[in-house]
Amino acid sequence: MTVEELKQLTCLIVDDDSFMLSTLSLVLKQFGLKQVFQADNAQDALKLIANRNNHIDIVVSDLNMPEMDGIQLLRHLGALGVNLGVILVSGEDPRLLESVQNLGKQYQLRVLGSISKPVKKDLLLQYLLDFRREVKPSPQGPATMVFADELQAAIISELIEVWYQPQIDVATFQLVGIEALARWQHPEKGFIPPNIFIGIAEKYGMIQQLTDSVLKQSIKQISEWNKMGFDISLSVNFSASGLCHLDIPEVLHSTLRNSGLRPDHLTIEVTESALPKDTSATLDILTRLRLKGFGLSIDDFGTGFSSLEQLRLIPFTELKIDRSFVHHASDNKASQAILESSISLAKRLAIHCVAEGVETQEDWDLVASLGCDIVQGYFIAKPMPAAEFVPWVRQYSKKHRAKS
């Protein structure tokens, strides 16, 4: 969200302290928000939200309030099924705030962040700018079957497009690679968030087809770009259920050769939480992919529960740190500690380290100072359709040349 777009936002502040209410409301008005509601207790806040005429986008809430506290408020909001952004404000320990933030996510709320009192204005502004309005179709209910059919048709007719997000070498500012990301612009329902349709693809056994379609489109595309002189590698996300055909390494090897690419042009990103525990087939496939010279990346590192064991078992060449430990890490001691140890772990293992979710100068400065190799995130560029890629590279290298 841009500073200009803030003017369309409606916010609700919930705090039992009248001084905090008026201070926060003043700050939000200075940011130019469209409307700012106030409630000095959680019950009134719920009534304001339940009245859909108010169209509230973001709730800024205190945690410690008499009668109904902030955690109870989140639970009620979760039950209402509202699609809201939440920012938590409290004088409590940052670790406690962090846990509440995670709890909010479990209630399907979009928790933008938490702020300790006294409130830092810049941080509040950053959180507001992180907010994005989303379409949130329900993955459950009777509509799902139609939805699954629609997805199936979209995959077959290649309506699931591939967008590309650049990866930059921190030391040289050079573009080194791109991650291929599936995007679905539905003709009637608009942009469908990837977590929604990927979830459906997993549930209805279409993930292999989806991955194949992304691979096919992106290998063709990167081969064209390489012929134009951009020597970059491609990263493609693989689901664990897509890693059961033993001939994947051979198929991929010949596909790349036929497109004039080397195996090290392709990195397979595997989400650690998706890796099955004791499937020898998965280990067989991943090891042979490595043997043939493909890159192997452990994706969303830090969010799974068996990361370290996976790192020991599978010959990964890259560790990709989840955005939740990167963005705003300089304001969060726990994230910063996890970020630091992940980077040093990658160094000890002599594998590449990629930080995802670098969205601000502070994020960049922090990961650069910690010695991370590669970054990816909105600070560099958002994922973009293929047609926008070459103009972006030209502009980026012009800017970069001017800087150095």
Q: How many residues bind Mg ion (CB under 5 A)?
A: 3
As measured in angstroms, the least distance from the Cβ of 268 to Mg ion is 10
Give the CB-side neighbour count of residue 352, counting CA atoms within 13 A: 23
**Structural Rg of the chain based on CA atoms:** 23
Q: Residue 94 or 193: which CB sits closer to Mg ion?
A: 193
Given the rule CB under 5 A, which of 158-166, 235-243, 305-313, 343-351 is the region that contacts Mg ion?
A: 235-243
> CB within 8 A of 39, min separation 6: which ones?
12, 13, 14, 45, 48
C-alpha to C-alpha distance for 219 and 259, rounded to whole angstroms: 7
248-307 positions binding Mg ion, by CB under 5 A: 269, 299
Can you give the length of the chain in residues?
404
Q: What angle do CA 271, 272, 277 make, to 5 degrees?
A: 125
Given the rule CB under 5 A, which of 11-19, 232-240, 364-372, 388-396 is the region that contacts Mg ion?
A: 232-240
C-alpha to C-alpha distance for 110 and 131, rounded to whole angstroms: 9
As measured in angstroms, the least distance from the Cβ of 265 to Mg ion is 17
As measured in angstroms, the least distance from the Cβ of 396 to Mg ion is 21
As measured in angstroms, the least distance from the Cβ of 179 to Mg ion is 6
Q: How far apart are the first and last CA of the chain?
A: 29
As measured in angstroms, the least distance from the Cβ of 177 to Mg ion is 12
Please provide residue 191's backbone torsions phi and psi, each rounded to the nearest 5 degrees.
Answer: -70, 120
Query: Secondary structure of the chain: what % helix, strand, coil (to 5)?
Result: 50, 20, 30
Q: Residue 85 or 357: which CB sits closer to Mg ion?
A: 357
As measured in angstroms, the least distance from the Cβ of 356 to Mg ion is 7
Q: Residue 269 or 272: which CB sits closer to Mg ion?
A: 269
Q: Residue 299 or 363: which CB sits closer to Mg ion?
A: 299
Is residue 237 near Mg ion by the rule CB under 5 A?
yes
Is residue 318 near Mg ion by the rule CB under 5 A?
no
Q: Which residues bind Mg ion (CB under 5 A)?
A: 237, 269, 299
